[in-house]
Amino acid sequence: MFFSKDLPSPTSVFTAYASMAGYMMMIRSMAHELIPAPLQDFIYRTLRSLFFRSSSSTLTLTIDDDNMGMNNEIYRAAQTYLSTKISPDAVRLRISKGHKDKHVNLYLSDGEIVNDVYEDVQLVWRFVTDGGDKKGGGGGVGGRGGGGGRRGGMDDDGKSEYFELSFDKKHKDLILNSYVPYIESKAKEIRDERRILMLHSLNSLRWESVILEHPSTFETMAMEDDLKRDVIEDLDRFIRRKEFYKRVGKAWKRGYLLYGPPGTGKSSLVAAMANYLKFDVYDLQLASVMRDSDLRRLLLATRNRSILVIEDIDCAVDLPNRIEQPVEGKNRGESQGPLTLSGLLNFIDGLWSSCGDERIIIFTTNHKDRLDPALLRPGRMDMHIYMGHCSFQGFKTLASNYLGLSDAAMPHRLFPEIERLIDGEVMTPAQVAEELMKSEDADVALEGLVNVLEKMRLKSKESNPVMMKQKESRLEMEEMRLKSDTEGSPRKNSKRFKKLVLFWT
């Protein structure tokens, strides 16, 4: 008769398992040099089956990459998660680096073990390669998640690769319902962190890809704080509303129209959005797409979690004129004939958006007034973002980016002067940035900027003194009116500020 105190505790079972597995691995790597591969497999399998028979309280899950012919997401998640948990004592690892990767990726190699603890439950992971002809040091983990290696499951040599996850049987529910989802979410975080963004551009009607290393982020963007916050909130809402889009039967896509003069940061904002979301960018130059059928092929070749950008939509292609040349007998949007605006909108609204997830489309233009009303129709572009001339707030962001100046503690002596001169449509952020780059010495750079601002104000006054006078007095009146009815409400004030900017345009 057995008493519970005679039974080994789960902790000691796992400790014993881990040590034994470690010894097995050491013996295995020595044996690897001396014993032929088929004999190695036989010995390893025999020892393993002996061990598992003796620890009846252990449950072992096997996780391979085959999910009835589809990929097994848990396998991929485990592969990514475990690559961050590799013990310093590991004796055999697989290393890989794809041409797009910035860093090398480390993966478990055959027989390697990782010990993990989840809510005080001890877990042992092992990567196993079974059967087939061993080459080049014992196979490896499929590296699709990070390095372009072989996939798990059965490979061409008839060798199967899988993970084993062992733990005490009594924790089965916790592991399946809590630990596995935890691994999946961790793996997503790690992948997002590591993700290399790609910029895809057209070359002879094919997407050609390079690594996107644009440094622009929302922190570096010279924009009004309110507008910046609105854009970030909109992106966040879009990303977390997968279920919502499904429920209401809408394609999970979002459209933005960025408009404003050249050099106000439209392209930089696209890059900031891509960096924020970790989305690839597809830069679609419409001028090189002549037919609806080409557009269709190109759009279908784009991947999920991406931003499709069509820059300078007003002048990239003369779409309205092309509408005047319909091709007989063809359906709209499926035509082999010339690319039309309706074809473009048809694909964007229909086919392309319904066959992918997490898609963003961005149109940019310097002339919103020249756009076809069909593009501006409510519901087509979800958010219209005006990128305007450099405000004082925008200047402060640029001064901090380029000269490391912060206005928090002690603003630079020239800040008040710049605040007075920069208001209105005087300089674009690109022009301000150019001035700030002229010297590393903040005094010199800011004095240069003050000179340019003075010259530009004078020039615009001289070019239209009457209009300037009228604008100034209207602005003053509007300012006084706003001051009287929004005193003490910063949020209201900033909204009115936007109106003031519009008033100037």
Q: Provide the annotated binding site.
A: 260-267
Query: How far, in Å, CA of 274 to CA of 280, rounded?
Result: 6
DSSP 214-270: ----TTT--S-HHHHHHHHHHHHHHHHTHHHHHHTT--SEEEEEEE-STTSSHHHHH
Any contact of residue 151 with ligand ATP (CB under 6 A)?
no
Q: Which of 114, 124, 222, 348 binds ligand ATP (CB under 6 A)?
A: 222
Q: Residue 278's Cα: distance from chain center in Å?
A: 1
SS3 90: coil
Greatest Cα pair distance, the chain, in angstroms, is 106
CA–CA gap between residue 419 and residue 267 (Å, rounded): 26
Of residues 258 through 317, those in contact with ligand ATP by CB under 6 A are: 262-268
* Residues 264, 366: Cα–Cα separation, whole Å: 10
Q: Smallest gap, in angstroms, from Cβ of residue 263 to ligand ATP? A: 5
Q: Pick the binder of ligand ATP from 13, 63, 221, 341 (CB under 6 A).
A: 221
Restricted to residues 311-370, the positions that interact with ligand ATP (CB under 6 A) are 366
| Least separation in angstroms between CB 219 and ligand ATP | 10
Q: Using the minimum distance from each CB to ligand ATP, give the nearer residue, 346 or 393.
A: 393
Query: Looking at 44-52, 111-119, 427-435, 438-446, which segment touches ligand ATP (CB under 6 A)?
Result: 427-435
DSSP tag of 8: P
Smallest gap from residue 439 Cβ to ligand ATP (A): 17
Residue 227 lies near ligand ATP (rule: CB under 6 A): no
How many Cα atoms sit within 13 Å of 102 on the Cβ side?
10
CA distances (Å), origin 55, targets 7, 13, 17, 126: 11, 7, 9, 16
* Least distance to ligand ATP, CB of residue 27, Å: 59
Q: Does 430 bind ligand ATP (CB under 6 A)?
A: yes
Binding residues for ATP: 260-267
Between 267 and 346, CB nearer to ligand ATP = 267
Residue 152 sits at φ, ψ, to 5 deg, of: -75, -175
Which CB atom, from 28 or from 266, has the smaller least distance to ligand ATP?
266
To the nearest whole angstrom, how small is the minimum distance from the Cβ of residue 385 to ligand ATP? Answer: 11
36 binds ligand ATP (CB under 6 A): no
Q: Rule CB under 6 A: which residues touch ligand ATP? A: 220-223, 262-268, 366, 387, 429-430, 433
